[in-house]
């Protein structure tokens, strides 16, 4: 799908640097080359040229690169100008280019968007480019590169292929039910089997090989004064949360990104839970429960110096309450202030839960907690990883849920129209991952989070 306007943006970071690169993409890129360079450079060759203004005066000089359509990143004619990285020169050049008819500034992510619309990359790969740029750990870089090369897309494409074949089989048995004489039930069962095995394969590779781009959300919760803010501070190695011995000091949520040996997580410190008459504190406590609902893991901090019976009562009450909010959240109990006791700094599994004895004040035992988090969150640092966004996993879950429903209904009612409808819903959910069936609104939302020049 060719766009009828041409876009320009600086692709290097704004600010002073040795080189500044501009990218121009679209049908009038040729015109830009003619006006700025006085010629169209030889395709895919680095050509040293002058960059000219309207009066043929030299604005700058540098390397120009010409990628004629369709053999370019966007699939359109692309001109790249590599000049000196002075913000003033870049600004003058952009102004000069914008004075040419039909040229406008690119929106964030618009080069990727054009590459997507022109079939150069799918949506997973476009997202991988953004993930690569925003990678905060080495494994994230490796995983984004794998996604960019299509290692996740391929599984989704196979799933879509199976779905399309299934739909063809089903639709043709609706359209020609009287003319076609085949064992419809048998074919449908075969298709169900094939689809199920591909869904399971994808779920397995997501669980074994995916790195979630969005950081894991780890929430710190517990009674006041147990040491929640001290734990946040020691985990993030910063004095960000205010630590006092006055209960209720953390009234709102505090967020901190931390990198534990390459494992990126977002730590949320909360007001904890307790009865209070302070209205502001009440809001903080409610927000904490809302945040718990959206978190992957809770570190429930207990002051280990208090009566063990009381500790047990607090932890049991929490377990009872949390499961009505979020029953997939992982729970780790942090027995804090262990420095005041003669106990070991260790981790113990009691029933279904882990208890880590540590001191958020001295730091003893904090490494045990970090190791435990890495293990519990299945952080991987191996080859063959790819990036999955929560969006991808959600779409797979949605379509697998529809699949199970369709299979059940087929066994019960043998209703081919109902099955056709379910298959269409599944294709839509899966297609949204790669962008085959993605609404314009969603596309706009995804690309608008990219940076300008990408």
Q: Which residues are annotated as a binding site for K(+)?
A: 225, 244, 246, 249
- How many residues appear in the chain? 454
Query: What is d(CA 354, CA 347) in angstroms, rounded to the nearest whole number?
Result: 7
Report in angstroms how near the CB of residue 326 gets to ligand GDP at its nearest: 21
Distance CA 336, CA 256 (A): 20
Give the nearer residue to ligand GDP in terms of CB position, either 36 or 220: 220
Tell me the two tokens of residue 193.
């089997």
Nearer to ligand GDP, 10 or 229 (CB): 229
6 contacts ligand GDP (rule: CB under 6 A): no
Peptide bond before residue 70 is cis, with ω within 30 degrees of 0: yes
Q: State the minimum distance, in angstroms, from the CB of residue 192 to ligand GDP.
A: 52
3-state DSSP of 208-259 = HHEEECCCEEEEEECCCCCCHHHHHHHHHCCCCCCCCCCCCCCCCCEEEEEE
Give yes or no for residue 229 binding ligand GDP (CB under 6 A): yes
Task: Give residues 235-254 in contact with ligand GDP (rule: CB under 6 A).
Answer: 243-245, 249-250
361 is a contact residue toward ligand GDP (CB under 6 A): yes
Q: Is 304 in the site for ligand GDP (CB under 6 A)?
A: no
In sequence order, which residues have a C-beta less than 8 Å from that of residue 202 and are 6 or more positions away? 155, 156, 159, 396
Q: Residue 94 or residue 253: which is nearer to ligand GDP going by CB?
A: 253
Helix crossing, 123-133 with 138-148: angle to 10°?
A: 160
Dist CA 427 CA 416 (whole Å): 16
Please list every residue from 338 through 357 that binds ligand GDP, using CB under 6 A: 339-340
Comparison of 207 and 286: residue with beta carbon closer to ligand GDP: 286
Binding residue count for ligand GDP, defined by CB under 6 A:
20
109 near ligand GDP (CB under 6 A): no
Contact of 206 with 393, CB cutoff 8 Å: yes
Say which residues have a Cβ less than 8 Å from residue 278's Cβ, sequence separation at least 6. Answer: 248
Cβ contacts of 149 within 8 Å, gap of 6 or more: none
Residue number with the shortest CB distance to ligand GDP? 227
In contact, 92 and 52? CB cutoff 8 Å: no
Q: Is 92 in the site for ligand GDP (CB under 6 A)?
A: no
Shortest Å, Cβ 336 to ligand GDP: 5
Name the segment binding ligand GDP (CB under 6 A); options: 23-31, 72-80, 112-120, 221-229. 221-229
Q: Which is nearer to ligand GDP, 364 or 436 (CB)?
A: 364
Least distance to ligand GDP, CB of residue 307, Å: 17
- How is residue 44 annotated by DSSP? T
User: Candidates 22-30, 194-202, 333-341, 446-454 — which segment interacts with ligand GDP by CB under 6 A?
Assistant: 333-341
Q: Does 224 bind ligand GDP (CB under 6 A)?
A: yes
- CB of 342 vs ligand GDP, minimal distance in Å: 14
Q: What is the DSSP letter of 86?
A: -
List of residues contacting ligand GDP (CB under 6 A) = 224-230, 243-245, 249-250, 272, 336-337, 339-340, 359-361
């Amino acid at each position: 799908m060719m766009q009828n306007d041409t876009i320009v943006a600086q692709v290097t970071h704004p600010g002073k640097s040795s080189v500044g690169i501009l990218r121009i993409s679209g049908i009038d890129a040729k015109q830009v080359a003619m006006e700025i360079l006085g010629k169209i450079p030889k395709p895919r060759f680095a050509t040293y040229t002058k960059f000219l203004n309207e009066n043929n005066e030299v604005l700058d000089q540098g390397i120009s690169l010409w990628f004629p359509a369709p053999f370019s990143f966007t699939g359109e004619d692309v001109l790249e100008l590599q000049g000196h990285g002075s913000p003033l020169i870049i600004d003058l050049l952009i102004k000069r280019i914008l004075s040419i008819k039909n040229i406008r500034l690119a929106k964030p992510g618009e080069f990727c968007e054009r590459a997507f619309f022109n079939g150069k990359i799918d949506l997973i790969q476009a997202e991988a480019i953004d993930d690569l740029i925003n990678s905060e750990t080495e494994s994230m870089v490796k995983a984004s590169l794998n996604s960019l090369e299509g290692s996740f897309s391929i599984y989704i494409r196979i799933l879509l292929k199976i779905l399309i074949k299934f739909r063809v089989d089903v639709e043709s048995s609706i359209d020609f039910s009287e003319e076609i004489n085949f064992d419809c039930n048998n074919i449908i069962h075969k298709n169900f089997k094939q689809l199920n095995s591909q869904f399971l394969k994808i779920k397995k590779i997501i669980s074994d090989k995916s790195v979630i781009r969005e950081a894991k959300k780890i929430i710190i919760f517990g009674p006041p004064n147990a040491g929640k803010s001290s734990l946040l501070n020691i985990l993030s190695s910063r004095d960000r949360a205010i630590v006092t011995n006055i209960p209720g000091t953390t009234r709102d949520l505090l967020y901190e990104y931390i990198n534990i040996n390459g494992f990126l997580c977002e730590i949320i410190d909360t007001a904890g839970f307790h009865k209070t008459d302070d209205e502001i504190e009440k809001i903080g406590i409610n927000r904490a429960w809302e945040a718990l609902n959206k978190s992957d893991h809770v570190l429930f901090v207990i002051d280990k110096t208090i009566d063990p019976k009381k500790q047990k009562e607090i932890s049991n009450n929490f377990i009872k309450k949390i499961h009505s909010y979020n029953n997939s959240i992982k729970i780790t109990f942090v027995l804090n202030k262990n420095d005041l006791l003669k106990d070991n700094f260790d981790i113990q599994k009691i029933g279904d839960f882990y208890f880590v004895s540590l001191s958020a004040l001295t730091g003893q035992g904090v490494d045990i907690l970090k190791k435990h988090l890495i293990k519990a969150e299945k952080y991987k640092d191996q080859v063959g990883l790819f990036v999955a966004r929560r969006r991808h996993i959600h779409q797979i879950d949605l379509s697998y849920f529809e699949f199970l429903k369709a299979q059940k209904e087929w066994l019960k009612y043998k209703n081919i129209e109902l099955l056709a409808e379910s298959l269409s819903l599944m294709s839509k959910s899966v297609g949204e991952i790669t962008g085959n069936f993605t609404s314009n609104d969603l596309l706009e939302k995804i690309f608008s989070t990219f940076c300008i020049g990408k």
